[in-house]
Structure 1
Protein backbone atom coordinates (compact mmCIF):
# COMPACT_ATOMS: atom_id res chain seq x y z
CA UNK A 1 0.00 0.00 0.00
CA UNK A 2 2.81 2.44 0.85
CA UNK A 3 4.50 2.13 -2.59
CA UNK A 4 1.18 2.96 -4.23
CA UNK A 5 0.78 6.10 -2.11
CA UNK A 6 4.37 7.17 -2.83
CA UNK A 7 3.90 6.69 -6.58
CA UNK A 8 0.62 8.61 -6.47
CA UNK A 9 2.29 11.46 -4.58
CA UNK A 10 5.15 11.61 -7.08
CA UNK A 11 2.71 11.61 -9.99
CA UNK A 12 0.69 14.42 -8.40
CA UNK A 13 3.83 16.52 -7.77
CA UNK A 14 5.07 16.00 -11.32
CA UNK A 15 1.71 17.14 -12.66
CA UNK A 16 1.93 20.29 -10.57
CA UNK A 17 5.44 21.03 -11.79
CA UNK A 18 4.62 20.48 -15.47
CA UNK A 19 1.37 22.40 -15.21
CA UNK A 20 3.11 25.43 -13.73
CA UNK A 21 5.70 25.50 -16.52
CA UNK A 22 3.09 25.88 -19.26
CA UNK A 23 2.34 29.27 -20.68
CA UNK A 24 -0.63 31.01 -19.14
CA UNK A 25 -0.90 33.41 -22.07
CA UNK A 26 -2.66 32.37 -25.27
CA UNK A 27 -2.57 33.61 -28.86
CA UNK A 28 -6.03 35.15 -28.69
CA UNK A 29 -4.91 37.38 -25.84
CA UNK A 30 -1.66 38.29 -27.57
CA UNK A 31 -3.38 39.14 -30.85
CA UNK A 32 -6.09 41.15 -29.09
CA UNK A 33 -3.42 43.20 -27.32
CA UNK A 34 -1.49 44.05 -30.49
CA UNK A 35 -4.43 44.37 -32.91
CA UNK A 36 -4.45 48.20 -32.58
CA UNK A 37 -0.85 48.16 -33.90
CA UNK A 38 -1.55 46.53 -37.27
CA UNK A 39 -2.00 49.69 -39.35
CA UNK A 40 1.14 51.24 -37.85
CA UNK A 41 3.13 48.04 -38.44
CA UNK A 42 2.01 47.79 -42.05
CA UNK A 43 2.74 51.41 -42.93
CA UNK A 44 5.67 52.11 -40.64
CA UNK A 45 4.67 55.78 -40.75
CA UNK A 46 4.19 58.14 -37.86
CA UNK A 47 3.94 56.88 -34.32
CA UNK A 48 2.02 53.98 -32.81
CA UNK A 49 -1.37 54.92 -31.38
CA UNK A 50 -2.10 55.15 -27.68
CA UNK A 51 -4.25 52.00 -27.98
CA UNK A 52 -1.37 50.18 -29.67
CA UNK A 53 1.11 51.16 -26.96
CA UNK A 54 -1.39 50.24 -24.26
CA UNK A 55 -1.71 46.78 -25.81
CA UNK A 56 2.06 46.34 -26.08
CA UNK A 57 2.42 47.36 -22.44
CA UNK A 58 -0.34 44.96 -21.38
CA UNK A 59 1.31 42.15 -23.32
CA UNK A 60 4.73 42.86 -21.81
CA UNK A 61 3.24 42.75 -18.31
CA UNK A 62 1.26 39.57 -18.99
CA UNK A 63 4.25 37.68 -20.39
CA UNK A 64 5.99 37.35 -17.05
CA UNK A 65 7.48 33.86 -17.33
CA UNK A 66 9.79 32.27 -19.88
CA UNK A 67 6.93 30.06 -21.08
CA UNK A 68 4.68 33.11 -21.47
CA UNK A 69 7.35 35.07 -23.35
CA UNK A 70 7.99 32.15 -25.69
CA UNK A 71 4.27 31.65 -26.30
CA UNK A 72 3.77 35.37 -26.98
CA UNK A 73 6.78 35.35 -29.29
CA UNK A 74 5.39 32.43 -31.28
CA UNK A 75 2.03 34.14 -31.64
CA UNK A 76 3.62 37.42 -32.70
CA UNK A 77 5.96 35.68 -35.13
CA UNK A 78 3.02 33.92 -36.74
CA UNK A 79 1.07 37.19 -36.99
CA UNK A 80 4.07 39.02 -38.44
CA UNK A 81 4.35 36.47 -41.22
CA UNK A 82 0.69 37.10 -42.16
CA UNK A 83 0.60 40.90 -42.15
CA UNK A 84 4.02 41.51 -43.74
CA UNK A 85 4.90 44.52 -41.57
CA UNK A 86 7.49 47.19 -42.07
CA UNK A 87 10.42 45.44 -40.34
CA UNK A 88 11.87 48.65 -38.92
CA UNK A 89 8.49 49.54 -37.39
CA UNK A 90 8.12 46.03 -35.94
CA UNK A 91 11.61 46.09 -34.42
CA UNK A 92 11.12 49.58 -33.02
CA UNK A 93 7.56 49.18 -31.72
CA UNK A 94 8.36 48.32 -28.11
CA UNK A 95 10.84 51.20 -27.84
CA UNK A 96 8.40 53.60 -29.53
CA UNK A 97 5.89 52.67 -26.84
CA UNK A 98 8.42 52.94 -24.00
CA UNK A 99 8.21 49.20 -23.32
CA UNK A 100 11.10 46.77 -23.00
CA UNK A 101 10.76 43.33 -24.58
CA UNK A 102 13.52 40.70 -24.46
CA UNK A 103 13.33 40.21 -28.23
CA UNK A 104 12.53 41.97 -31.50
CA UNK A 105 9.64 40.50 -33.44
CA UNK A 106 11.08 39.60 -36.82
CA UNK A 107 10.29 36.63 -39.09
CA UNK A 108 13.68 35.00 -38.43
CA UNK A 109 13.32 35.03 -34.63
CA UNK A 110 13.86 31.70 -32.84
CA UNK A 111 11.38 31.90 -29.95
CA UNK A 112 12.94 28.91 -28.19
CA UNK A 113 16.00 31.05 -27.35
CA UNK A 114 13.99 33.53 -25.28
CA UNK A 115 14.45 33.26 -21.53
Structure 2
Protein backbone atom coordinates (compact mmCIF):
# COMPACT_ATOMS: atom_id res chain seq x y z
CA UNK A 1 0.00 0.00 0.00
CA UNK A 2 1.39 3.41 -0.93
CA UNK A 3 2.31 5.72 1.94
CA UNK A 4 -0.21 8.38 0.82
CA UNK A 5 -3.02 5.81 0.58
CA UNK A 6 -2.16 4.44 4.01
CA UNK A 7 -2.15 7.94 5.51
CA UNK A 8 -5.54 8.64 3.92
CA UNK A 9 -6.98 5.41 5.29
CA UNK A 10 -5.67 6.08 8.80
CA UNK A 11 -6.98 9.65 8.58
CA UNK A 12 -10.46 8.50 7.63
CA UNK A 13 -10.60 5.90 10.39
CA UNK A 14 -9.37 8.33 13.03
CA UNK A 15 -11.77 11.04 11.90
CA UNK A 16 -14.72 8.70 12.39
CA UNK A 17 -14.31 9.13 16.12
CA UNK A 18 -14.01 12.94 16.18
CA UNK A 19 -17.23 14.76 16.92
CA UNK A 20 -19.11 11.60 17.82
CA UNK A 21 -21.40 13.54 20.18
CA UNK A 22 -23.54 15.10 17.45
CA UNK A 23 -27.27 14.61 16.99
CA UNK A 24 -28.58 11.85 14.73
CA UNK A 25 -29.41 14.13 11.79
CA UNK A 26 -26.29 16.31 11.99
CA UNK A 27 -23.47 16.05 9.49
CA UNK A 28 -20.66 13.88 10.83
CA UNK A 29 -16.93 14.25 10.52
CA UNK A 30 -16.63 11.37 8.09
CA UNK A 31 -19.45 12.80 5.96
CA UNK A 32 -17.73 16.20 5.84
CA UNK A 33 -14.40 14.62 4.86
CA UNK A 34 -16.11 12.51 2.20
CA UNK A 35 -17.85 15.60 0.83
CA UNK A 36 -14.44 17.29 0.49
CA UNK A 37 -12.97 14.57 -1.74
CA UNK A 38 -13.72 16.55 -4.94
CA UNK A 39 -11.63 19.40 -3.45
CA UNK A 40 -8.56 17.23 -2.88
CA UNK A 41 -6.63 18.04 -6.09
CA UNK A 42 -7.11 21.78 -5.57
CA UNK A 43 -6.35 21.73 -1.83
CA UNK A 44 -3.22 19.63 -2.25
CA UNK A 45 -1.98 21.74 -5.17
CA UNK A 46 -2.04 18.73 -7.49
CA UNK A 47 -4.54 19.85 -10.06
CA UNK A 48 -6.30 22.89 -11.38
CA UNK A 49 -5.74 26.38 -10.01
CA UNK A 50 -9.43 26.69 -9.18
CA UNK A 51 -11.72 24.32 -7.28
CA UNK A 52 -14.15 22.23 -9.32
CA UNK A 53 -17.89 22.85 -9.36
CA UNK A 54 -18.31 19.60 -7.38
CA UNK A 55 -15.89 20.92 -4.78
CA UNK A 56 -17.76 24.21 -4.40
CA UNK A 57 -21.10 22.41 -4.19
CA UNK A 58 -19.71 20.15 -1.47
CA UNK A 59 -18.36 23.12 0.46
CA UNK A 60 -21.79 24.75 0.34
CA UNK A 61 -23.42 21.55 1.64
CA UNK A 62 -20.98 21.33 4.57
CA UNK A 63 -21.63 24.89 5.65
CA UNK A 64 -25.39 24.57 5.14
CA UNK A 65 -25.44 21.46 7.33
CA UNK A 66 -23.44 22.97 10.21
CA UNK A 67 -26.37 24.78 11.80
CA UNK A 68 -25.26 25.17 15.42
CA UNK A 69 -22.16 26.62 17.05
CA UNK A 70 -21.39 23.25 18.65
CA UNK A 71 -21.63 21.45 15.31
CA UNK A 72 -19.61 24.13 13.48
CA UNK A 73 -16.84 23.81 16.06
CA UNK A 74 -16.92 20.02 15.86
CA UNK A 75 -16.75 19.92 12.05
CA UNK A 76 -14.16 22.72 12.09
CA UNK A 77 -11.93 20.61 14.38
CA UNK A 78 -12.50 17.56 12.22
CA UNK A 79 -11.56 19.36 9.01
CA UNK A 80 -8.66 21.16 10.70
CA UNK A 81 -7.17 17.82 11.73
CA UNK A 82 -7.84 16.33 8.31
CA UNK A 83 -6.27 19.35 6.57
CA UNK A 84 -3.18 19.14 8.76
CA UNK A 85 -2.77 15.38 8.29
CA UNK A 86 -3.41 15.47 4.55
CA UNK A 87 -0.98 18.33 3.89
CA UNK A 88 -3.54 20.80 2.61
CA UNK A 89 -1.96 23.92 1.12
CA UNK A 90 -2.88 26.83 3.38
CA UNK A 91 -3.01 29.32 0.50
CA UNK A 92 -5.36 27.07 -1.49
CA UNK A 93 -7.66 26.61 1.49
CA UNK A 94 -7.72 30.37 2.09
CA UNK A 95 -8.93 30.96 -1.48
CA UNK A 96 -11.88 28.54 -1.32
CA UNK A 97 -14.44 31.05 -0.05
CA UNK A 98 -13.67 33.59 -2.76
CA UNK A 99 -13.30 31.08 -5.60
CA UNK A 100 -16.46 29.17 -4.66
CA UNK A 101 -18.35 32.42 -4.04
CA UNK A 102 -19.50 30.98 -0.72
CA UNK A 103 -19.43 32.61 2.68
CA UNK A 104 -17.97 30.09 5.13
CA UNK A 105 -18.87 29.89 8.80
CA UNK A 106 -15.27 28.72 9.35
CA UNK A 107 -12.28 28.19 7.07
CA UNK A 108 -10.92 24.78 6.12
CA UNK A 109 -7.48 25.53 7.42
CA UNK A 110 -4.92 23.62 9.48
CA UNK A 111 -4.28 26.80 11.51
CA UNK A 112 -7.84 27.91 12.33
CA UNK A 113 -8.88 28.38 15.99
CA UNK A 114 -12.06 26.29 16.03
CA UNK A 115 -12.92 27.42 19.57
CA UNK A 116 -13.49 30.93 18.19
CA UNK A 117 -15.99 29.76 15.56
CA UNK A 118 -19.41 31.26 16.25
Q: Could you say which residue in structure 1 is the equivalent of 2:91?
A: 88
User: What is the TM-score of this pair, normalised by structure 1?
Assistant: 0.74
Which is helix-richer, 1 or 2?
1
CA RMSD for the aligned pairs? 1.9
**Counterparts in 2 of 1:1-115, with a 5 A limit?**
22=22, 24-43=26-45, 45-115=48-118
Asked whether the 8 Å contact 2:35–2:58 carries over to 1, the reply is yes
Number of aligned residue pairs: 95
SS at match of 1:108: coil
Deviates more, 1:71-80 or 1:44-53: 44-53
Deviations 1:93-115 (A, max 9, x none): 12211111133232222211111
Write the distance in 1 (CA, Å) between the matches of 2:22 and 2:42: 32
The answer for unaligned runs of 5 or more in structure 2 is 1-20
Asked whether the 8 Å contact 1:80–1:107 carries over to 2, the reply is yes
Q: Whose Rg is larger?
A: 1
Cα gap change, 1:28 to 1:22, in 2 (>3 Å) = closer
The answer for unaligned runs of 5 or more in structure 1 is 1-20
Write the distance in 1 (CA, Å) between the matches of 2:98 and 2:66: 17
Asked whether the 8 Å contact 1:76–1:105 carries over to 2, the reply is yes
SS at match of 2:36: helix
Which stretches of structure 1, 4 residues or longer, exceed 4 Å deviation after superposition? Answer: none
